[in-house]
């Protein structure tokens, strides 16, 4: 039986407590919505499941705290974790589609989203590749990104890519890398993207893989590295235009991007501040946020979220639901909790010795959480194109919540390992 004192000492409460409070705020909102709706089905589907997943996430979090540091972040563990989650990605891809996509594995009582879980794989494999300079570990994200993109889930694909870029920038910052090495790493990241986006074009895919191999030969000509980098950027830019104009993006995805692209083409970057809101989801979110005012409408008095005018009120548009119910004050409380969490991870990152594998892990987690918060709130405020992005710990989402508690376990593990320094 676990003793309470050793357990409490292993937890970084400055990070964990805000996460638990965000979970509780989300649960309270779901309970109020359930009371207003008055349906047993909603009660069992959202608040009860949210509570169960929260408790399961906390159990996994505690379990991680007692895994030895060398085992948790060891090479064998990283390899097995990546293989296991990639296997789930393959299974989801081979199974019959759920909701017209291959993003989920339907267990009947629970939906598993492997691409959400693979945030752990992307983080650990990329961090280990750069820390040890065993760049072959980047093949794990490469394989997973291809399956995620063609599941299809472009938003999740870009989120994973941003985590890779975040760890890459951190590596270049602390290693005092030469220009040649920096170009090698950035080129590889670009080509991983190109391979994933163009994997259905066998020839281009093979060319990208071959150039990636050339970049990491012991004696690489700087000119080849620079050439590969600029070719990669060009292909990436062309690939974006192909995504927007070609058949890979669905019509609804193009419609989400259209107002932003048209405004930029017409008025440049300043056009983003004068968008004509045509998307129904975004319009309802803005109505919900605006009608909440300073103090909010209060539980049971909301209209957009309670009467289902606001789609995905418990997940993608949770910030709008929160603002309508508890107003600007409630939104500021949530932002304060996120600020405390992000500030603490940043503090730990600055304090621990570098280069160290723990630093790479924290850099990846910090990048992921900041981007998720930015996108989650940005789509609610019509600052970003609409995509499925729940807010960490606040929104309803089983796999997402478990994944983030695992990441919190990593943070607390690093904290306990370097507790004398922080």
pTM: 0.80
Contact 322, 393 (CB under 8 A): no
Give the 3-state secondary structure of residue 265. Answer: helix
The confidence score (pLDDT) of residue 128 equals: 94
CA distance linking residue 300 with residue 230, whole number of Å: 56
Q: In which element (H, E) is residue 203 found?
A: helix 202-215
Per-residue confidence at 345, pLDDT binned at 50, 70, 90? very high
The confidence score (pLDDT) of residue 271 equals: 47
The confidence score (pLDDT) of residue 365 equals: 94
Number of other CB atoms surrounding residue 300 within 10 Å: 11
Q: What is the pLDDT of residues 286-340, one digit of tens each?
A: 888 888 888 888 777 777 777 777 777 777 788 888 888 888 899 999 999 999 9
Compute the average pLDDT of residues 102-131.
88
Contact 44, 396 (CB under 8 A): no
Whether the upstream peptide bond of residue 152 has omega within 30° of 0, thus cis, is yes
CA distance linking residue 308 with residue 396, whole number of Å: 16
| Alpha-carbon distance values, 89 to 50, 83, 152, 315 (Å) | 24, 10, 12, 22
Q: What is the pLDDT of residues 45-103, one digit of tens each?
A: 778 888 899 999 999 999 999 999 999 999 999 999 999 999 988 898 888 887 777 88
Phi, psi of 96 (to 5 degrees): -55, 145
Q: Which of 76-90, 374-388, 391-405 has the lowest mean pLDDT?
A: 374-388
The confidence score (pLDDT) of residue 405 equals: 95
Phi, psi of 297 (to 5 degrees): -80, -20
Q: Please report where in the chains the tokens 């957009």 appear, as a residue.
A: 304
């Amino acid at each position: 039986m676990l003793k309470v004192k050793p357990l409490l000492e292993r937890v970084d409460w400055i990070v964990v407590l805000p996460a638990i409070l965000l979970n509780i705020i989300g649960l309270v909102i779901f309970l109020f919505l359930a009371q207003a709706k008055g349906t047993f089905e909603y009660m069992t589907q959202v608040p009860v499941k949210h509570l169960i997943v929260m408790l399961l996430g906390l159990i996994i979090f505690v379990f991680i705290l007692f895994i030895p540091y060398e085992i948790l972040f060891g090479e064998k563990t990283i390899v097995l974790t990546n293989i296991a989650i990639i296997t789930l990605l393959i299974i989801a891809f081979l199974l019959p589609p759920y909701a017209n996509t291959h993003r989920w594995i339907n267990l009947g009582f629970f939906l598993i989203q492997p691409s959400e879980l693979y945030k752990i794989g992307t983080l650990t494999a990329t961090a280990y590749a750069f820390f040890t300079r065993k760049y072959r570990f980047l093949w794990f994200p490469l394989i997973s990104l291809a399956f995620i993109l063609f599941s299809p889930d472009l938003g999740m694909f870009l989120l994973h890519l941003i985590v890779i870029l975040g760890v890459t920038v951190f590596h270049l910052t602390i290693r005092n890398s030469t220009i040649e090495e920096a170009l090698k790493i950035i080129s590889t990241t670009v080509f991983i993207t190109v391979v994933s986006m163009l994997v259905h074009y066998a020839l281009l895919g093979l060319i990208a893989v071959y150039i990636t191999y050339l970049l990491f030969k012991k004696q690489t000509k700087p000119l080849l590295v620079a050439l590969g980098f600029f070719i990669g950027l060009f292909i990436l830019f062309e690939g974006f235009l192909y995504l927007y104009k070609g058949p890979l993006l669905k019509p609804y995805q193009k419609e989400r991007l259209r107002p932003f692209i048209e405004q930029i083409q017409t008025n440049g970057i300043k056009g983003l501040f004068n968008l004509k809101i045509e998307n129904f989801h975004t319009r309802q979110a803005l109505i919900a946020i605006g009608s909440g005012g300073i103090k909010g409408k209060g539980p049971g008095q909301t209209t957009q979220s309670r009467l289902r005018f606001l789609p995905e009120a418990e997940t993608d548009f949770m910030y709008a639901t929160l603002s309508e119910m508890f107003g600007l004050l409630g939104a500021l409380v949530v932002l304060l909790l996120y600020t405390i969490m992000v500030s603490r991870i940043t503090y730990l990152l600055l304090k621990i010795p570098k280069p160290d594998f723990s630093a790479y892990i924290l850099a990846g987690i910090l990048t992921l959480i900041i981007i998720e918060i930015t996108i989650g709130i940005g789509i609610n405020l019509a600052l970003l194109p609409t995509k499925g992005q729940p807010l960490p710990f606040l929104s309803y989402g089983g796999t997402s919540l478990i994944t983030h508690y695992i990441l919190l376990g990593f943070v607390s593990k690093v904290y306990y390992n370097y507790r004398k320094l922080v």
